[in-house]
Amino acid sequence: ALKGAGAERPDDRTLNPIVKDLADNKVAEAAKAQEAAAQQLDGAAQKLTGSHGAESPADRAAQTAADAEAGAQQLSKEIKDAQANHNPPTRPSDPANQGARTLAEQIRQAAQELSQSGSAEARRDAADAAKAADAARTAANQGKAQEAQQAAQTAAQRLAAAAKAAGGNAAPAGDS
């Protein structure tokens, strides 16, 4: 596993002197050698973590897109409920507008991360997602919750397309 991740285990020439220095009561030398070995092991651990189990930007974007689509659907329901109660979300401080702004920020962040990797198609879709997220944020800041929700929905769909183009695997919405 170490070699596959491009990491190396400290060799015996590094580890054996630690034991000898301790036996000879050379604690300072043993501590220095132990620190060097620990740093080498930490580096190996980071390489292993980076190559196994860590999500790729595309996978994170796919998850964000799935969560954002579910969030946009929930926002739509909240907006309809507020309108039915004769309390449409027309202020930027209304919960629906705050929710749309939060969704837009999450999508924008994932799109920016994804735009730095992946294919040209993935980068283009990520740029489209970022633009739609900006439109959602602008609408939410103007108190236009329904417009913000629709733009957030579009942004989430564009982010999902970007993640798919970059090879991401979408998880079911709500599984974070």
Identify which of 131, 109, 128 has the alpha carbon closest to the alpha carbon of residue 120: 128
Q: What is the mean pLDDT of residues 93-108?
A: 92
The 8-class DSSP code of residue 132 comes to H
Per-residue pLDDT for 13 more than 80? Answer: no
**Per-residue pLDDT reduced to its tens digit, 14-51:** 677 778 878 888 888 878 878 777 777 777 666 665 54
How far lies 55's CA from each of 30, 35, 124, 150, 169, in Å? 38, 30, 21, 28, 10
CA–CA dist 53, 56 (Å, integer): 9
Instruction: State the first-to-last Cα distance of the chain, in angstroms, to the nearest integer.
Output: 27
Residue 156: HSE in the Cβ half-sphere, 13 Å Cα cutoff: 25
CA–CA dist 115, 165 (Å, integer): 11
- Cβ burial of 85 (10 Å; 0-12, 13-18, 19+) is exposed
The per-residue pLDDT for 130 is 95
Per-residue pLDDT for 4 more than 60? Answer: no
The per-residue pLDDT for 145 is 93
The per-residue pLDDT for 48 is 61
Going by pLDDT thresholds of 50, 70 and 90, the confidence category of residue 155 is very high
- What is the crossing angle of helices 27-51 and 12-23, to 10°? 150
CA–CA dist 44, 86 (Å, integer): 60
* pLDDT greater at residue 73 or residue 173: 73
**Per-residue pLDDT reduced to its tens digit, 35-93:** 777 777 777 666 665 544 447 888 888 888 999 999 999 999 989 998 999 988 899 99
Calculate the CA 55 to chain-centre distance: 8
Q: Average pLDDT over the chain, rounded to whole?
A: 82
